[in-house]
Amino acid sequence: MSKRPTRRGFASRPADPEHWIKAADAPPRDSDADGVTARLTIDVTRELRGRIKIVAFRRGQTVADMLRDLLAREYPPTSEGDPS
């Protein structure tokens, strides 16, 4: 009879636990606002989503990183009290 393949659980244990534990001490990607982020959900057509993914891939970025950069450029921080 053939041997059953070993099944991995939902999350496998890291090969190097020390490295894995120290990774939690890494600073957040965004240093703005103490690393606090919020999820933004928008509806786009499948066609637009595909175009966005292709552009991000060609730039060597993730879609999230590319859109964060775009939003940061379009909506730069303003001085306090300035609503626009």
User: Which two tokens mark 15?
Assistant: 């090969």
Buried b (16+ CB within 10 A) or exposed e, 63-77: eeebebeeeeeeeee
Residue 52 near residue 62, CB atoms below 8 Å: no
Q: What are phi and psi of 25, to 5 degrees?
A: -85, -5
The predicted structure's pLDDT at residue 55 = 95
User: Which two tokens mark 5?
Assistant: 């393949």
Residue 70 has pLDDT above 60, yes or no: yes
Residue 81 has pLDDT above 60, yes or no: no
- This prediction has a pTM of 0.51
CA distance linking residue 84 with residue 62, whole number of Å = 29
Residue pLDDT, tens place only, 17-60: 677 666 656 665 655 555 678 888 999 999 999 999 999 999 99
The predicted structure's pLDDT at residue 37 = 80
- Nearest to residue 24, comparing CAs of 35, 33, 32? 35
